Amino acid sequence: MKLDFDTWLAVVQLQADYAAAVDSGRWELWPDFFTDDCVYKLQPRENHERGFPLSTLAFDGKASLRDRVYGIQETLFHDPYYQRHVVGTPVLRGVEGDGAIRCESNYAVFRTKLNGLSTVFNVGRYLDRVVRTPDGLRFAERVAVYDSEMIPNSIIYPI
Amino acid sequence: MSEAQTPARPAAALQWEAGDTSRIPFAVYTDEQLHREELERFFYRGHWCYVGLEAEVPRPGDFKRTVVGERSVILSRAADGQLHCFENVCAHRGMQFCRARHGSGVKEFVCPYHQWSYTLSGDLQGVPLRRGVRQDGQVKGGMPADFNPKEHGLTKLKVASRGGVVFASFDPDVEPLEDYLGPTILPYFDRLFNGRELTILGYNRQRIPGNWKLMQENIKDPYHPGLLHTWFVTFGLWRADNKAALKMDAHHRHAAMISTRGNAGKQSDVSQVSSFKAAMELEDKRFLDIVHEDWWGEPTAVMTTIFPSVIFQQQVNSVSTRHIQPDGHGNFDFVWTHFGFADDTPEMTARRLRQANLFGPAGFVSADDGEAIELSQCGFTQKPGHRALAELGGRGVEETDHMVTETLIRGMYDYWRKVMEQPA
């Protein structure tokens, strides 16, 4: 599999931009990292490995991501917190016939509640399908498979 | 027995301010001694606890590790197809020998420490070096000649299964499951679990830093869903002016909240509620692509609380069991098992999975509940001598045909007091 350096750089940049966006508190930035007919899932590793289809969150299409943003901003009561993603260098798994790039990367998310200490919140890996669009690279599919199956109460913001 | 010898009854020392259960002392949520007593009286004696669905252990040799109260247990299916449940504590040195969360094709359970082995029904079958070793023509060591393996099986629980749902009890004298559920609740149980084969869609797990009873109360409280949960009120899934009924068993320990969807988006008394958003529109309408299923009958949602360990959810097309697993007075794990039915079409499975976005630890609706419970526990902890109010709809305990009441919570504490205030 060959990938030119500029494409590789763009994939790394996409990952970094995503992390910066979902840590910024500007939730409206989140859907724009995806294609219109995207798939986003946040799935416990147990379900993923046992072939159970349930995800903790499972959205398809950008519209459903915008509904989640509205939920975060307007409808979901929660104890406010900061989150901070640390994302590893992506492992390239392959380039598909249509040019879509399959890659994986480890991530750790720390949560910091107001007046609280920072704690490890959610760790896992992203399984991504990245495609070229006129606006640059976007996620056609992003599945966050998390090891932290025992969720510390709730997950409100995008991982 | 003289008064001085009477074992301490922590529950008898509680102050119930109104005499009845309409004012609940915070100490029921914060006192570790009361919690120990609750485990004994509700989880380990006289009650059935949820341990899983038969669909989780469909074949002989399948097992699942779970808990009853705070005790680790294994649910297994033996070669003859029978279900068994036994405690995950080796009869030899007490090791919690099973660490896998589930498995299949198992012939026996072996404790890694000294290789004592047990059958799938929990009987001791092998003790290495039981007869000692032969050295220089002499037998040395080994278990005493009178050691009887039959006396050293794992602690077995009584098991009952109905409609594919498995309960277990450490108490061999517990009443039959059907009597335990009672004639009022049983039809709602059977409505959901009517013998159809279930399929497991998957799990969600969350650790909620609050007292376990708060989750029972959450699903015995029809007051909050139309207020805390903007989604419910705005889309009419659950709101105060829906057609509704609240039912209890004769002991007031189990309950069913039954609601029929209506009034989505309409103006009425509930439009004054600050969480009602008349202008809210989903961009992706499929989250609420509700298709009526024949087995529902009229209600679109039935939330059933089976005391002390489980909640059965039917909210439109999303169905799940929610297992309450206490861990001390101030924490519990909450395990969601979403399921479907073997005859579901692929479209119905997709619908159940999409509607699952409303529920669970990140759900559009249910994420709020864990947060509210955590912050309630914070309030109790800072003010342990105080009490909560549960006076909506009066101070007594009765079934109702509306949701503007906390009668089910008062009912649960009525039962709690009966059990907890009995002499030891």
- Residue B4 confidence (pLDDT): 47
- Residue B277 confidence (pLDDT): 74
Q: Give B-chain residues touching A150 at CB under 8 angstroms.
A: 205-207, 333
- Residue B233 confidence (pLDDT): 76
ipTM at complex level: 0.96
The rounded Cα A1 to chain-centroid distance in angstroms is: 25
Quote helix, strand, coil % in chain A, to nearest 5.
30, 45, 25
- Residue B226 confidence (pLDDT): 80
- E strand or H helix at B157, and its extent? strand B156-162
Domain ranges within chain A, ordered by starting residue: 5-146
Q: Give A-chain residues touching B337 at CB under 8 angstroms.
A: none
Among B202, B275, B282, beta carbon nearest to A47: B202
Among B231, B353, B370, beta carbon nearest to A75: B231
Closest CA to B86 of B102, B109, B103: B109
Q: Determine contact, residues A158/A22, Cβ cutoff 8 Å.
A: yes
Q: Determine contact, residues B220/B305, Cβ cutoff 8 Å.
A: yes
What tens digit of pLDDT does each residue of A137-147 get? 999 999 999 99
Residue % of chain A over a pLDDT of 90: 94
CATH of domain A5-146: 3.10.450.50
Strand spans (E) along B284-363: 301-306, 310-315, 318-326, 332-341
Q: Give B-chain residues touching A42 at CB under 8 angstroms.
A: 362
Rounded Cα–Cα distance for residues A15 and B322 (Å) = 35
* Binned average pLDDT, 10 residues per bin, chain B of 424 residues: 52 90 97 97 98 98 98 98 98 98 97 98 96 93 96 98 98 98 98 97 98 98 86 76 93 96 65 70 89 96 98 97 98 98 98 96 94 97 96 95 95 98 88
Nearest CA in chain A to B320: A54
Residue A1 has pLDDT above 80, yes or no: no
Nearest CA in chain A to B275: A75
Closest CA to B175 of B357, B48, B322: B48
Nearest CA in chain B to A48: B202
pTM for this prediction: 0.95
Nearest CA in chain A to B282: A67
Q: Do A53 and B201 touch (CB under 8 A)?
A: yes
Q: Do B207 and A63 touch (CB under 8 A)?
A: no
What tens digit of pLDDT does each residue of A60-70 get? 999 999 999 99
If you search the block for the tokens 């504490």, which residue do you land on? Answer: B413
Q: Give A-chain residues touching B205 at CB under 8 angstroms.
A: 44, 149-151
- Residue B183 confidence (pLDDT): 98
